[in-house]
C-alpha cells in the first residue's frame, strides 16, 4: 500500500478532459512556443496520443529535434498548480474560453514559409475576464520602445478612444508605445490584453511589474510560454503573431527603421487583417518605420480611432440612421471576403468562392465552417448560402471599399 | 496725309509672326484665363482668324458669353509694351520658349468636366531664364497658407534639397508653404517659378513684393493673366492647373481640411502625374488634408526629396553605377506609359497602345507625336517603334513599380 504509484495508477480516476489538459500542458512546456510539426501531429492523432509519442520519442524525424531538450520534463500537474496559485489558468483548444475564431488563420499559414506559423498549443492566462469575450472586438496597438512625447500622446488618444468605445486594446507590455497603449485603456476603465514573450509569472520588463499587475486586475495577461520561461529574442517574434491573431487589426504608433512592430504587421497581413500605421513628423526618426510601411503599401495610414474602426471595425450599413445588430457586421479579413462572395439569393459551391476571393480551398472551407458555427451561413445540396441575405449590400459595399 | 490710319494701314509692314502674337495677346485679355471653347476655335481656324472672329463677334453661341465683356478691348500692342517695360515677355504657343510638352496634357482633358480644362493661350513671363528649360525637371511644392513651424521646416528641407539637386521648385507665391518653398530654392541658389493668379505686374500677396522681385531676379514669375488683372477667387483654381502642368509632380506640405492644395493635386492627377503629400503630427490640423489625401489614395506619402524623386523623378536604370544620359529617363505620366507600351524590337500600331495603356486614342496619338518630337520614337508603315530600344527594361521596370 505504500509502494510507488505505477504510471497506470496515476491516471486512475482522471477524466478524459483532465488527460487531454495534462497532455496540452506537457507539450506546451516541451516545445516552448510554436511548433508546426507538433500541431500537425496533434491534428492527425489527437493531443493525448501526440503527448505519448513525444514522451516515448516515437516521432517522425522532424519532431525529434524540437522535443529532444525537454521531452523528459513532465511537470504538467505542477504547472497547473502553479498557474492556479497565480490566480490564473491554462486555456486549451478544448476549452470554451479558447478564441478559436481568432486562431483559425494561424493554422492556415504555411509553416514552410515561417517556422512560427502555428496555432499556440495553449494560452497561459491571468485575469478575470474571459479570453474569448475579451477578444470579440479588439485592436492591437504597438510601437517603438523608444517612443517620443508625440508618440506617447498619439497612443494615449487613440488607445484611450478605442477602449472607451468598448474595444479591447492588445499590446506587448513593452516600454514606450506598448505600455502607453495599456495605460490609456486602463485609464478609461477599458479592457486591455498584454501578450508576453515569457512565462505568465515573469514580469517583463521588470519595471512594468506594477503595470502588469494592474492589467491582471482588470484585463488579461496572456502567453503561450509556461511558467518560469524567460524571454528570448525569438520569443518576441513568435509572440507578435499572437498579438496579431487576437486582434481585428494592428496599429503601429511610432516605429524606427528596424522596429519589431514591422514583424507584428507582417503577421497581421498574413492573417488577412488590416495593418495600420500612424504618421508623425517627417523630422522624427521614431516615425520613419511608420512612413515606410505606409509608403510601401504594408500599412494603411490612420490618424485617429475613427479611421482605425473604418478599416478594422464592424462593417457598417450605409443607410443613414440604421445601426444593425447583425453579427456579420463584425466580419473582417477572410470571413468578410468569403461572406461577400456568397450570393444574396441562392447557393454557391466552395470552388466558386475560391475563384472569386483568390483564397485557397482550405481557407475557404475553414472560413465557411467558421461562418456556419456563428450561424451566418449554411449549406445544402447546391452549396453554401447566407442564412440572412438582408444585409448583402452593406457587406459588399464595405468589401468594395477595400479593393 | 494726316488722316486717321485705316485698320488695313495699321497692319502694313507687320509680319505674320507679329500678327499672330498680337492675336494671342488680344485673346488673352478678352477671355482672362482658360477658355476651352476659344482654344477649340483656335485649333480649328488658327489664332489670327479666331481673333478676327472674336472681334467681329462672328462666333458660335458658346463663345459669345465668354468674349462679350472684353472683346472690344484691343490693346495688344500696349500690353506687349507694358510687359516689356517690366522686363518681361509674353510666351505664346508659337515660341520656342513655350513649354509645349508640359502643356500637352491640359489640352487633352475634357472641358465638359471642368471649364478650366484648357491650355493657357499665352504665358506672361518675368525673369531671365528660359521657361522651357526651367521646367525640364521641376516639382511643385504647395501647401497651407496657415502653415506651422513644422510645415515650414519640412518645406525648407524638401524644397531646398530638390533645388540643390537641380530641380526647379514651382509654387504659387502664397503665404505659408508656397512662400517657404520659393525661399528654400532661392536660398540654395536654385531655380524657382512662381505662378500667379493675377497679372504679372501685380505682387500678390502684396507682402511678398520683395520675394517676387527676388524670384524675377533669378527665377521666373509666370501667369496667364494679362498685366493689370486682379486676383479673383476662380483665378486660383485655374492657376493651380498651370502649377501642376509645369511640374513632374506636386508635393503638398501641410493642408487643412479644405485646402486649395487639394485642387492642385486634382489637376496633377488628371494630368497623369504623381501627387504626393508629406505627413505630419496627427495632432496638427495643418496636416489633416495631407493625411486624408494619402488615406484616400489621392496622394503618395513622401517624407524627403529622395522619395519625391523616386515618384516623380527620372526613371533610373537599376544597374549599379550606371547613370544613363538617356532622354527617356525623364519620361513620366502618359509619355512613360506610351513609351513602355512600345516593344523593345519591332513596331506597334496606336490601336494596340490604346489597348495596353487604357489611354484614349487621341491621348496616345498626341503622346506619340510628343515622343517623336524629342526623338524617342518614330513610325514606319508597321506602326511606331522606339528609336533606342536599349533602355527598355529600365522604363518598363519603373512602370511596373507604379502599377
Interface membership of A294 toward B (CB under 8 Å): yes
CA pair distance A155, A176, nearest whole angstrom: 10
Cell of B211: 520675394
Q: Check B283 against A150: CB less than 8 A apart.
A: yes
A170: part of which helix (H) or strand (E)? strand A168-171
Q: Among A2-16, B60-74, B311-325, B377-391, which is the least confidently predicted range? A: B311-325
Residue showing cell 498574413: A270
Model confidence band, residue B366 (pLDDT cutoffs 50, 70, 90): confident
The residue extents of the domains of chain A are 13-73, 123-312, 327-401
CA pair distance A261, A275, nearest whole angstrom: 11
Q: Among A9-13, B227-231, B234-238, B252-256, which is the least confidently predicted range? A: A9-13
Q: Is the pLDDT of residue A170 over 70?
A: yes
Q: Is the pLDDT of residue A72 over 80?
A: yes
Q: Give the distance from CA B318 to its chain's centroid.
A: 29
Q: Which residues contact B188 (CB under 8 A, 6 or more apart)?
A: B160, B163, B164
Is there a common fold for B123-312 and B327-401?
Answer: no
Q: Is the pLDDT of residue B287 over 70?
A: yes
pLDDT for position B159? 98
CA-based nearest residue to A285, from A251, A252, A257: A257
Count of C-beta atoms within a 10 Å radius of residue A258: 8
Q: Check A282 against B283: CB less than 8 A apart.
A: no
CA-based nearest residue to A272, from A109, A142, A36, A116: A109
Cβ-nearest to B294 among A281, A282, A294: A294
Interface membership of A303 toward B (CB under 8 Å): yes
Q: Is the pLDDT of residue A398 over 90?
A: no
CA end-to-end span of chain A? 72
Interface membership of B298 toward A (CB under 8 Å): no
Residue showing cell 496619338: B365
Distance from CA of B252 to the nearest CA of A (A): 13
Chain B contacts of A310, Cβ < 8 Å? none
Q: In what order do the strands lie in the sheet with A275-278?
A: A88-91, A123-126, A220-223, A192-195, A168-171, A138-143, A250-253, A275-278, A300-301
β pairing state of B123-126 and B220-223 = antiparallel
Cβ-nearest to B295 among A154, A281, A301: A301
Per cent of chain B over pLDDT 70 is 88
Q: Check B154 against A281: CB less than 8 A apart.
A: yes
Q: Among A377-381, B23-27, B69-73, which is the least confidently predicted range? A: A377-381
Q: Check B150 against A281: CB less than 8 A apart.
A: yes
Q: Reduce the DSSP state of residue A60 to 3 states and report it.
A: coil
Please, what sign has the CA dihedral across residues B31, B363, B379, B131?
positive
Model confidence band, residue B16 (pLDDT cutoffs 50, 70, 90): confident
Which residues on adjacent β-strands are paired with residue B194? B171, B221
CA-based nearest residue to B182, from B206, B210, B202: B210
Window A:142-161, CB contacts with B under 8 Å: 150, 153-154, 157
Strands (E), B66-174: 88-91, 123-126, 138-143, 168-171
The arithmetic mean of pLDDT across residues B38-63, rounded, is 95
Distance from CA of B300 to the nearest CA of A (A): 7
Q: Which residues contact B168 (CB under 8 A, 6 or more apart)?
A: B134, B135, B136, B137, B138, B139, B185, B190, B191, B192, B193, B219, B247
Interface membership of B203 toward A (CB under 8 Å): no
Per cent of chain A over pLDDT 70 is 88
Chain B contacts of A295, Cβ < 8 Å? 300-303, 307
CB A67 within 8 A of CB A54: yes
Chain B contacts of A147, Cβ < 8 Å? none
Per-residue pLDDT tens over the stretch A228-286:
999 999 999 999 999 999 999 999 999 999 889 999 999 999 998 999 999 999 999 99
Cell of A237: 517574434
β pairing state of A123-126 and A220-223 = antiparallel
Count of C-beta atoms within a 10 Å radius of residue A157: 18
B123-312 in CATH: which number? Answer: 3.40.50.450
Residue A301 is given by DSSP the state E
Q: Which residues contact A62 (CB under 8 A, 6 or more apart)?
A: A37
CB A306 within 8 A of CB A320: no
CA pair distance B156, B169, nearest whole angstrom: 11
Q: Check B283 against A307: CB less than 8 A apart.
A: no
Model confidence band, residue B6 (pLDDT cutoffs 50, 70, 90): very low
CA-based nearest residue to B223, from B186, B173, B183: B173
Model confidence band, residue B314 (pLDDT cutoffs 50, 70, 90): low
pLDDT for position A329? 66
Chain A contacts of B307, Cβ < 8 Å? 295
Give the residue with greater pLDDT, A340 vs B63: B63
Average pLDDT, chain A: 87
Q: Check B303 against A291: CB less than 8 A apart.
A: yes
Q: Check B280 against A278: CB less than 8 A apart.
A: no
Interface membership of B371 toward A (CB under 8 Å): no
Model confidence band, residue A370 (pLDDT cutoffs 50, 70, 90): confident
Chain A contacts of B300, Cβ < 8 Å? 295
Q: Is the pLDDT of residue B231 over 70?
A: yes
CA pair distance A312, A301, nearest whole angstrom: 12
The phi, psi pair for B147, rounded to 5°, reads -80, 165
Burial call A272-306: b when 16+ CB within 10 Å, e when fewer: bbbbbbbbbbbebebbbbbbbbbbeebbbbbbbbe
Q: Reduce the DSSP state of residue A287 to 3 states and report it.
A: helix
Distance from CA of B280 to the nearest CA of A (A): 4
Interface membership of B301 toward A (CB under 8 Å): yes
β pairing state of B300-301 and B192-195 = unpaired
Interface membership of A281 toward B (CB under 8 Å): yes
Interface membership of A279 toward B (CB under 8 Å): yes
Cβ-nearest to A291 among B150, B279, B282: B279
Distance from CA of A277 to the nearest CA of B (A): 11
Distance from CA of B295 to the nearest CA of A (A): 6
Q: Is the pLDDT of residue B359 over 90?
A: no
CA pair distance A100, B113, nearest whole angstrom: 52
The arithmetic mean of pLDDT across residues B46-60, rounded, is 96
- A262-A293-B145 Cα angle (round to 5): 140
CA B18, B23, B26, B30: dihedral to nearest 10 degrees? Answer: -170
Q: Is the pLDDT of residue A379 over 80?
A: no
Q: Is the pLDDT of residue B56 over 70?
A: yes
Residue showing cell 505606409: A294
Count of C-beta atoms within a 10 Å radius of residue B57: 12
pLDDT for position B381? 67
Model confidence band, residue A141 (pLDDT cutoffs 50, 70, 90): very high
Model confidence band, residue A387 (pLDDT cutoffs 50, 70, 90): confident
Distance from CA of A78 to the nearest CA of B (A): 50
Count of C-beta atoms within a 10 Å radius of residue A160: 21
CA pair distance B151, A281, nearest whole angstrom: 9
Chain B contacts of A154, Cβ < 8 Å? 281-283
Class of B327-401 in CATH: mainly alpha
Count of C-beta atoms within a 10 Å radius of residue B25: 25
CA-based nearest residue to A107, from A50, A63, A45, A43: A43
Interface membership of B288 toward A (CB under 8 Å): yes
Q: Check A279 against B283: CB less than 8 A apart.
A: no
Distance from CA of A400 to the nearest CA of B (A): 14
The arithmetic mean of pLDDT across residues B187-211, rounded, is 97
Q: Among A162-176, A354-368, B223-237, which is the least confidently predicted range? A: A354-368
Q: Check A154 against B283: CB less than 8 A apart.
A: yes
Average pLDDT, chain B: 87
Q: Check B282 against A294: CB less than 8 A apart.
A: no
Per cent of chain B over pLDDT 90 is 67
CA pair distance A242, B292, nearest whole angstrom: 31
Q: Which residues contact A152 (CB under 8 A, 6 or more apart)?
A: A176, A177, A180
Interface membership of B279 toward A (CB under 8 Å): yes
Burial class of residue B227 (count of CB atoms within 10 Å of its CB; 0-12, 13-18, 19+) = buried
The arithmetic mean of pLDDT across residues B141-166, rounded, is 97
Question: How many contacts (CB atoms, under 8 Å) link A and B?
Answer: 59
Residue of B nearest to A303 (CA): B282
CA B165, B171, B174, B177: dihedral to nearest 10 degrees? Answer: -50
Model confidence band, residue B126 (pLDDT cutoffs 50, 70, 90): very high
pLDDT for position B329? 65
Residue of A nearest to B158 (CA): A282
Residue of B nearest to A276 (CA): B295
Interface with chain B: mutation pick from A276, A295, A298, highest number of B CBs within 10 Å = A295
Q: Check A295 against B281: CB less than 8 A apart.
A: no
Cell of B288: 489633416
Per-residue pLDDT tens over the stretch B386-401:
876 444 444 444 444 4
Interface membership of B280 toward A (CB under 8 Å): yes
In order, the DSSP letters of A335-390 are HHHHHHHS-SSS-B-HHHHHHHH---HHHHHHHHHHHHHTTSEEEETTEEEES-GG
Chain A contacts of B150, Cβ < 8 Å? 281, 283
CA pair distance A255, A265, nearest whole angstrom: 11
How far, in Å, are B176, B192, B338, B396 from residue B365 at the CA level? 41, 32, 10, 20
The arithmetic mean of pLDDT across residues A35-61, rounded, is 95
Amino acid at each position: 500500500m505504500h509502494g510507488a504509484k505505477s504510471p497506470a495508477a496515476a491516471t486512475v480516476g482522471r477524466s478524459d478532459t483532465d488527460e487531454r489538459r495534462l497532455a496540452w500542458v506537457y507539450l506546451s512546456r516541451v516545445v516552448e512556443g510554436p511548433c508546426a510539426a507538433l500541431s500537425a501531429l496533434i491534428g492527425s492523432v489527437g493531443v493525448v496520443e501526440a503527448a505519448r509519442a513525444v514522451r516515448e520519442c516515437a516521432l517522425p524525424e522532424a519532431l525529434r529535434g524540437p522535443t529532444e531538450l525537454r521531452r523528459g520534463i513532465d511537470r504538467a500537474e505542477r504547472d497547473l498548480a502553479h498557474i492556479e496559485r497565480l490566480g490564473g489558468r491554462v486555456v486549451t483548444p478544448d476549452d470554451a474560453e479558447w478564441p478559436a475564431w481568432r486562431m483559425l488563420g494561424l493554422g492556415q499559414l504555411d509553416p514552410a514559409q515561417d517556422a512560427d506559423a502555428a496555432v499556440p498549443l495553449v494560452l497561459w492566462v491571468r485575469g478575470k475576464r474571459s479570453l474569448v469575450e475579451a477578444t470579440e472586438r479588439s485592436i492591437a496597438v504597438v510601437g517603438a520602445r523608444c517612443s517620443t512625447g508625440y508618440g506617447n500622446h498619439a497612443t494615449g488618444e487613440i488607445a484611450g478612444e478605442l477602449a472607451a468605445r468598448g474595444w479591447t486594446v492588445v499590446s506587448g507590455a513593452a516600454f514606450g508605445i506598448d505600455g502607453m497603449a495599456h495605460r490609456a485603456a486602463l485609464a478609461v476603465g477599458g479592457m486591455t490584453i498584454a501578450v508576453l514573450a515569457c512565462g505568465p509569472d515573469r514580469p517583463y520588463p521588470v519595471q512594468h511589474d506594477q503595470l502588469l499587475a494592474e492589467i491582471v486586475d482588470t484585463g488579461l495577461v496572456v502567453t503561450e510560454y509556461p511558467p518560469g520561461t524567460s524571454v528570448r529574442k525569438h520569443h518576441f517574434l513568435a509572440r507578435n503573431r499572437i498579438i496579431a491573431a487576437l486582434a481585428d487589426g494592428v496599429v503601429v504608433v511610432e516605429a524606427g527603421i528596424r522596429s519589431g512592430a514591422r514583424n507584428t504587421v507582417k503577421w497581421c497581413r498574413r492573417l488577412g487583417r488590416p495593418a495600420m500605421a500612424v504618421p508623425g513628423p517627417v523630422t522624427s526618426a521614431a516615425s520613419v518605420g511608420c512612413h515606410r510601411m505606409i509608403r510601401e503599401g504594408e500599412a494603411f495610414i490612420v490618424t485617429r480611432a475613427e479611421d482605425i474602426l473604418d478599416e478594422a471595425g464592424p462593417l457598417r450599413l450605409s443607410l443613414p440612421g440604421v445601426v444593425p445588430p447583425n453579427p456579420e457586421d463584425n466580419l473582417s479579413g477572410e470571413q468578410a471576403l468569403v461572406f461577400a462572395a456568397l450570393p444574396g439569393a441562392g447557393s454557391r459551391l466552395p470552388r466558386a468562392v475560391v475563384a472569386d476571393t483568390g483564397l485557397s480551398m482550405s481557407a475557404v472551407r475553414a472560413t465557411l465552417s467558421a461562418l456556419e458555427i456563428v450561424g451566418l451561413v449554411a449549406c445544402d445540396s447546391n452549396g453554401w448560402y447566407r442564412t440572412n441575405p438582408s444585409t448583402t449590400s452593406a457587406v459588399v459595399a464595405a468589401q468594395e471599399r477595400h479593393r
